[in-house]
Structure 1
Amino acid sequence: MSMDKASDRSLSQTVKAQLALRELVLRGALNPGERVSELQMVERLGVSRTPVRMALVRLEEEGLLEAIPSGGFSVKAFSEKEVFVSIEIRGTLEGLAVRLAAEHGASRSALLHAAECLDEIDDVIRREMLEIDLSQYVELNARFHRILIDMADSPPLARQLERASALPFASASALVPVQSRSPELHHILTVAQDQHRCVLSAIERREGSRAEAIMREHARIAHRNLERALTNQRDMDLVPGSALIKRRIRA
C-alpha cells in the first residue's frame, strides 16, 4: 500500500471513529461524567487504537469530552447556565462577524447570494403552518449563517465560531425543532426572518454596530427556545445533546 493510500485510510478511520463516538455521546449512550477509555472504544467502534485516540482528542477540542487527571477522557456534563452562555458566545461571535462584514464591505456577489437564500426561506415560512418543512428551514438557516460568517473574511473568527457551534445545543439551528411544538411557530420564524433581512441590510449599508446588535439579539431566540424546552421533557428530547445537560430541580 502506498503512503498516500495509507494516510487516506487512516484519516477515514479517524473520521469514522469521531462520528461514531460523537453519536454515542449525543444520544446518551455514554453518560455525563463517564470515563471513556481507548480500549473500550476500540472494541465498541471496531477500529484500531490510533483512530480512536485521535477521535477522543477531537471530541475534547469540540467540548464534548474533557481530560481527567488520571489520564484519558470523560463525557462532559453541562449546567443550564453553561448552555445559555454557550449560545451567548455563539451569538457574540456571529455579531462580531457581521460587524466585520459591514465595516470591510461585503462583495455584491456575497450579498446577492445571501438575499437569494433569504428568498428561499421566505418560500418555506409562507406555507401553512402544518406544511412548513422544518428540516428545509434548518438547512437554509444554517446556510445563511455560514454566508454571513464567510462575509467577515476572517479565518481565525471562523475557527472560533466553528468551535462554539460544535456544541450541539449552541449552533444556529440547534433549537429550531423545539419551535415545532409551539403554537407560535409561524410568528417565531417570521421574527427570525425579519432579523435576517435587517442584518443583511445593515451589512449592505455598512452599519457595523447595527448589524452586530441585531445578530446578538437574533441569538436570543435560541435562549427562549431553550427556556421552553427546560420546562417540558418532550421538548427537551428535541434538543441535540440534551443528555449532556444537568437540569436543575424546579419547584
Structure 2
Amino acid sequence: MAEQQASGRQQTAKALLGLRDLVLTGQLAAGERLSEVALASRLAVSRTPLRAALQTLEQEGLLTPLSSGGYEVRRFSRQDAIDAIELRGVLEGTAARLAAERGVAPARLRLLSELVERLDGVFGQVPGSVDFEAYAGLNAEFHRLLAGASGSDLIGRELARVTRLPFASPNAFVAGAEVEIPAFEATLFVAQAQHKAIVEAISRREGARVEALMREHARLARHNLDFVLERQPELKGKVLSLAMLAS
C-alpha cells in the first residue's frame, strides 16, 4: 500500500512538473484548449494524476477552467506574475495589520498557533524529508484563517480573487517541489519561521510589524518565480503562456 501511494505521488508530481514546463516554455499556446487524452500520452502518465495536475495549475493561475468543461492556457507576462505576488503581499499585510489592531478572538488565535505547531511536524529530521503535501494543506488553512482574522469580508473576497492570479497562490511551487526543485525546501523553513513571527506579532497587537512580515512572506513566491525562470533563460523577456493556482 505504501509503495502504491509513493508511486501515485510520483506520477502526480511528474504530471505537474511536465505540464507546468509545457506551459512555461510556450509549448502549449495561450488560449489553447487542453486535451486530457493528448496530454496524458505526451507526458506518459495516466489521466488521474494528469487531472490532479490540471487542478493544481488552475489554482496556480496558469490555467482557466472552461464553462463547457476542461481548461485552456492563460496568457500573461512575467511582470504580471510579479505584480500579482506583490498585490497579494499588500492585501495580506493589510489583513494582518487590521487583525493586530482590531484584535483577534482567542479561539481564532489558538487555531493559528495550533496550525503553526502542526506545520512544524511536516519538517523531517533530515534534509529532503519535508512532507510537501501536508505542508500545502496546512499552509492554505493558515492563510485562510489569517485572511478572516481581519474581520473584513471585503478584504477576504479580494484576497480570494488575487490568489487565483498567476503564481499568487500561497502554495505556488509547493506541489511537486520535492521531486525536481529541492532548493525550494529551504524557502519553506524561512516561511515557517515567518508564520511563527506573524502569529506572535498579531497576539502582541503589533500592526506595523506584522504588515511588514506578511509582505516579506509573500515575496518568497517572487524568489521561487525568479528561481524557476533563471533555470530557463529562454523565458526571459518573453510573454509567458500560463494557466492559473503562489509562499
- What is the aligned partner in structure 1 of residue 188 from structure 2? 189
SS at 1:166's partner residue?
A: coil
TM-score when scaled to structure 2? 0.65
Displacement of 1:31 in angstroms is: 3.1
User: Which residue identity is paired with 2:104?
Assistant: A
Preserved CA contact (<8 Å) 2:184 2:224: no
**Distance in 1 of aligned mates of 2:132 and 2:168:** 18
Higher relative contact order (CA closer than 8 Å, sequence separation 6+): 2
Matches of 1:140 and 1:110 in 2, distance apart?
15
1:164-214 CA-partner distances (Å, limit 9, x unpaired): 011252101112247534454443222111111111111111111100000
Cα pair 1:178 1:225 within 8 Å, conserved: no
* Within-5 A mapping of 1:139-218: 139-177=137-175, 179-180=177-178, 181-218=180-217
Aligned residue pairs total: 182
Taking the TM superposition and a 5 Å limit, the aligned residue runs for 1:220-235 are 220-233=219-232
Q: CA RMSD in A?
A: 3.1
1:83 to 71, 81, 84: 81
1:116 to 114, 117, 120: 114
Counterpart of 2:213, as a letter, is I
Sort the Cα spacing of 1:63 and 1:127 in 2 relative to 1 into closer, same or farther, 3 A: closer
Residues 145-168 of structure 1 show CA distances to partners (whole Å, capped at 9, x for unaligned) of: 111111111111111001101125
Unaligned runs of at least 5 residues, structure 2? 1-18, 34-57, 65-71
Distance 1:244 1:187, change over 3 A: closer
8 Å CA contact 1:64, 1:167 repeated in 2: no
1:74-129 per-position Cα deviation (integer Å, ceiling 9, x unaligned): 96411001101111111111001100100110011111100110111101114423
Q: SS of the counterpart of 1:77?
A: strand
Name the CA distance, whole Å, in 2 between partners of 1:178 and 1:136: 12
Question: Percent identity, aligned pairs only?
Answer: 41
TM-score by length of 1: 0.64
Cα displacement (A) at 1:232: 2.5
Structure with bigger gyration radius: 1
Distance, in Å, in 2 between the alignment partners of 1:182 and 1:111 is 33
